Amino acid sequence: MIETLLPPAVVAVEAFDDVPGEAPFPGEEDLIATAVEGRRREFITARRCAREALQTFGHPGAPIRPGPRREPRWPAGMTGSITHCTGYRAAAVARTTDISLLGIDAEPNRPLPEGVAGQITVPGEPEMLDRLAGTHPGTNWGRLLFSAKESVYKAWFPVTRRWLGFEEARLAIDPDAGTFVATLLVDGARIDGAPPLTVLAGRFLVDRGLVLTAVLAR
């Protein structure tokens, strides 16, 4: 499903279940040595999806180690993103010559836990979510906003190396087009010298009980 949100330059691999008894990839065992079984399963499957996507570009299977913010470290010349939630795991990768930043996220299409919406919204967003709930009731829009901001952060961090809080981006969601735009409320200076980030655009899909979001820039 996630591939429908992405251009041909991006390769995505997804899975809706895990392989019983699958062992961690060599070199990643320590990353989940103390994890509970559910966390082990999602980690193993999501990393396998990432390796399958990388192999499309000719990269042999190798450990995908985390960086300082637990972000995946990709081979030189590649960018990507990994996501997992109950019943879904996915990874998307691309060459940096084609895509400069990339973030994906998946969430269950269920209401956010009590009190979370107030922690992730900025002025104007609660009213937008209320309007969307009235006109398009089949989607949990608070959950979609959460997922979209997660995708924004995953795209943002590798090119800025800075944290981006939920309160540091304002979303405008177009429910009919299946798109959203995040206006960044902080300095978007990039470490590669490219023009600062001011807005990031993304797409979303709601299907099979899931909310999927993707953000990218060329």
Domain end position, chosen among 75, 96, 117: 96
Q: What is the model's pLDDT at position 69? A: 80
Tell me which residue range forms the domain holding 36.
2-96
Pair (118, 82) in one structural domain: no
Pair (37, 135) in one structural domain: no
Pair (128, 212) in one structural domain: yes
Q: Is the dihedral of CA 135, 139, 142, 146 positive or negative?
A: negative
Distance from C-alpha of 167 to C-alpha of 120, rounded to nearest angstrom: 6
Pair (17, 40) in one structural domain: yes
As for how many domains the chain has, the answer is 2
Pair (148, 47) in one structural domain: no
- Residue 39 sits in a domain of what CATH number? 3.90.470.20
The pTM (predicted TM-score) of the whole model is: 0.94
Domain end position, chosen among 77, 96, 115: 96
In the chain, how long is the greatest CA-to-CA distance? 49
Domain end position, chosen among 96, 118, 142: 96
DSSP-derived secondary structure for the chain: -GGGGS-TTSEEEEESS--TTPPPPTT-GGGGTT--HHHHHHHHHHHHHHHHHHHTTTPPP----B-TTSPBPPPTTEEEEEEEETTEEEEEEEETTT-SEEEEEEEESSPPPTTSHHHH--TTHHHHHHHHHHH-TTS-HHHHHHHHHHHHHHHHHHHH-S---GGGEEEEEETTTTEEEEEE-S----TTSPPPP-EEEEEEEEETTEEEEEEEE-
Pair (15, 112) in one structural domain: no
Distance of alpha carbon 179 from the chain centroid: 15
- Residue 207 sits in a domain of what CATH number? 3.90.470
Q: Which residue has the tokens 């304002």?
A: 170
pLDDT per residue over 143-185, tens digit each? Answer: 999 999 999 999 999 999 999 999 999 999 999 999 999 999 9
Pair (58, 146) in one structural domain: no
Contact yes or no for 92/53 (Cβ under 8 A): yes
Q: What is the model's pLDDT at position 70? A: 84
Task: Render the burial of 14-29: b for 16+ CB within 10 Å, e for the rest.
Answer: bbeebeeeeebbeebe
Pair (163, 83) in one structural domain: no
pLDDT per residue over 69-127, tens digit each? Answer: 888 999 999 999 999 999 999 999 999 999 999 999 999 999 999 999 999 999 999 99
Pair (41, 116) in one structural domain: no
